[in-house]
Structure 1
Amino acid sequence: MKLRSLLFVPGDSDRKFAKGRMAGADVLILDLEDAVAPSMKAAAREQVSAWLGDADNIEASLFVRVNPLDTGMTQGDLAVVVRPGLAGILVPKANGAHDIATIADMIDPLEEAAGMMPGAVKIMVVATETPQAMFALGSYTPPHPRLVGLTWGAEDLGAAIGATANKEADGQWTEPYRFARSLCLFAAASAGVVPVDTLYADFRDANGLEADCRRARRDGFVGRIAIHPDQVATINRCFSPSEDEIAQARKIVDAFAANPDAGTLGIDGKMYDIPHLKSAQKTLAAAGETA
């Protein structure tokens, strides 16, 4: 499952779903949480269930962002959306791995009742939206069998800690959010799951999005959340290896394959060791090649 671009789609808007499914995102996140007004929650559940029924005709994988556990709505959301066509659940405002275990226990019987393979429904977590969560990022290691990725969020965390802003004048994150971003990245690496960067709020700022995506990929993120279809192409391009990167990765992998006992090799006048090999293997995997 590719988690390079993940586009939010409000669960109560046929129009936005129709536009989103054509955007080229790897994942559509059908949202039952913040994008849906309380009065529309029940209708959105039914609408999302109907969209899941058409999953065979949609190229993207379909995830659903359910309402968080403390709302009391999570079980009701899952009861409607755990059905064939559902690839995964996005869990917001998680306080740690114990929340994931709770939700996974809810999914198990629903998955069986729907005739789905055990473990078919994966889980991705917004891992930094509460103060408690910041002290529990290490709990995702070892990962739950359903866990495939961690992402982070700034808006709910800011509200929880009483921040008045989360960006500097130059657009960079302030210190608490840089900290949250970094810990999410480390937690995902520790658990061996995919790190996905948070959304870029100004969907009209294509240049800013591109620069920020390139920084995120440089740091180790392998995908990004989109809040508008127009962001998807930029995200896909920025998080895909270039032809030059792929060619260099092949060269490194081939050199080590030809010298299996070597820990360090010289290639084109530069020294490469095992961390370089691992990075090259990840580059080829991102390009859909088997190293």
Structure 2
Amino acid sequence: MSLLMGPALLFCPADRPERYQKAAERSDGVIVDLEDAVAPADKQRARGAILAQLGANGDVPELDPSRTIIRVNPAGTEEFEKDLHCLKHTPYRHIMLAKAEDPAQLTALADFSVIALCETAAGILNAAAIAAEPNVAGLMWGAEDLIASLGGTSSRTGRGDYRAVALHARSTVLLAARAFGKEAIDSVYVNIPDLDGLAREAHDAVASGFGAKPCIHPDQVAVVRGAYAPSETDIAAATELLDAAASAGTGVFQFQGKMIDGPILKHAESILRRAGH
């Protein structure tokens, strides 16, 4: 799902409708947030803002439904029920379920395409079962909420690297999503001024197999897009390798001193897909 939108998704608070269109213009897809970005006292007003930007007939929204995801509150809460009631009156059918923990929670969302945000211990442990649900389009993981659910204090070390438990959760969500043919979405990078750190993490996300990395500030979008866009050198090398494979006409061959087989060729094909070739 996110690959159809693009790799750089941008969160936008639902109670700030004046930012909706700006967020859409600056990113590949917008995540309109009804959960953490909105204070409890403002959630009803946020839902009203989503409804208010619809056309007179409720079918011509300001935001393109194919490029918009609505993050709803956790299942089982009163706010979740209110969120669903609101969305039934809109054309938005892509949602992100905050703190997804159990595949049974997806039952109430059968009419939606869901990104399940696994950000608690239960959510990480049940990631595979959640990914198996037919209406789940992808999985995302959340570092800080996960650590909070464990009673910890920070997902990162003093050097800025993820702690072991966070890396375990990241890998678990990636493997679960891909095992069931679903999209895998990396966690946000919360240190907004540290664009170099974001670039390193986004490049790792690409290399590991994540299809997107959401942004929490417009300045992060270009960095994420840059990480996902193969360089001309990468494109040329991948093209040369695949041409050599076609000429070799065999399953395993040597190229520039290296043994080349099926998995290596798939890596090259992935680079060309991201380049739009």
Question: In which range does the TM-score fall when normalised by the shorter chain?
Answer: 0.7 to 0.9
Between the aligned partners of 2:240 and 2:153, the Cα distance in structure 1 is 49
Q: Give, in angstroms, the shift of residue 82 of structure 1.
A: 4.2
Find 2:96's aligned residue among 90, 95, 98. Answer: 90
Between the aligned partners of 1:21 and 1:43, the Cα distance in structure 2 is 21
The residue aligned with 2:229 is: 240
Q: Is the 8 A contact 1:6 1:27 kept in 2?
A: yes
Q: Give, in angstroms, the shift of residue 270 of structure 1.
A: 3.0
Alignment TM-score, normalising by the size of structure 2: 0.87
Q: Which runs of 5+ in 1 are unaligned?
A: 108-120
**Residue 115 of structure 2 is aligned to residue 124 of structure 1:** yes
**Residue 73 of structure 2 is aligned to residue 67 of structure 1:** yes
Q: 1:257 to 1:201 in 2, by over 3 A?
A: same
Q: Give, in angstroms, the shift of residue 285 of structure 1.
A: 2.1
The residue aligned with 2:5 is: 2
Q: Give, in angstroms, the shift of residue 86 of structure 1.
A: 2.2
Q: 1:187 to 1:43 in 2, by over 3 A?
A: same
Once the two structures are superposed, the pairs formed by residues 251-270 of structure 1 within 5 Å of their partners are: 251-257=240-246, 262-270=250-258
The residue aligned with 1:44 is: 46
CA shift digits 1:133-185 (9 cap, x unpaired)? 222122145x3333222111022222221102221110111122111111112
Q: Give, in angstroms, the shift of residue 79 of structure 1.
A: 2.7
Q: Give, in angstroms, the shift of residue 83 of structure 1.
A: 5.8
Q: Which runs of 5+ in 2 are unaligned?
A: none
Amino acid at match of 2:231: S
Between the aligned partners of 1:93 and 1:78, the Cα distance in structure 2 is 16
**Identity, % of aligned positions:** 33
Between the aligned partners of 2:261 and 2:181, the Cα distance in structure 1 is 21
Between the aligned partners of 1:246 and 1:54, the Cα distance in structure 2 is 39
CA shift digits 1:47-79 (9 cap, x unpaired)? 123446555775971000011112133233123
Q: 1:273 to 1:240 in 2, by over 3 A?
A: same
SS of the residue 2:76 aligns to:
helix
Amino acid at match of 2:94: G
Once the two structures are superposed, the pairs formed by residues 18-29 of structure 1 within 5 Å of their partners are: 18-23=21-26, 25-29=27-31
SS of the residue 1:8 aligns to:
strand
Amino acid at match of 1:125: A
Q: Is the 8 A contact 2:206 2:228 kept in 1?
A: yes
**Residue 183 of structure 2 is aligned to residue 201 of structure 1:** no
Between the aligned partners of 1:224 and 1:57, the Cα distance in structure 2 is 20
Alignment TM-score, normalising by the size of structure 1: 0.83
Between the aligned partners of 1:78 and 1:244, the Cα distance in structure 2 is 47
Q: Is the 8 A contact 2:21 2:63 kept in 1?
A: no
Q: 1:284 to 1:148 in 2, by over 3 A?
A: farther
